[in-house]
Amino acid sequence: MSDESIVLTEAEWEVMEFLWENPGAIGRAICERMSAKKGWSRSTTLTLLTRLEKKGAVSSGNGSIKAYSPLISRADASLRETKNLLDRFYNGSLGVMVSAFTKKQKLSREEIDEMYALLRELEEKNND
């Protein structure tokens, strides 16, 4: 499965968050963390790790004690999820999404300034 086609479930995302913060974590540490944070059993966490490995999102090495490391970056996974969100709910239009959010939620002056700066940067790139 190519990196571009890896889609993470909400539960898989939880495991990946831990692995992005703790690359090379052993299975026991991951199970303990997921038990404390989510109340998951050891078998639930191990099942998720197996699924993530089959998807190509993590590797576990070849040793007798499995140490799991992410094969996809958080930035790439976030970008893919954002694109899926845009495609699914906003017909692929970032403008429609921003419009929908700003109608329901007031933006701070700082957020507005950040959006203007981003738009100016994108405009400069498009003019090059």
In this prediction, residue 121 carries a pLDDT of: 92
- What amino acid is encoded at 38 in this protein? K
In this prediction, residue 59 carries a pLDDT of: 96
Quickly tell me which residue has 């993530």 as its tokens.
Answer: 52
In this prediction, residue 4 carries a pLDDT of: 62
Q: Across the chain, which distance is largest between two alpha carbons, in Å?
A: 55
In this prediction, residue 40 carries a pLDDT of: 97
SS3 59: strand
The verdict on pTM exceeding 0.85 is: no
- Please give the Cα distance from 101 to 112 (Å, whole number): 13
Q: Which residues in the chain show pLDDT less than 70?
A: 1-4
In this prediction, residue 100 carries a pLDDT of: 86
In this prediction, residue 35 carries a pLDDT of: 97
Contact in structure between 16 and 52 (CB atoms under 8 Å): yes
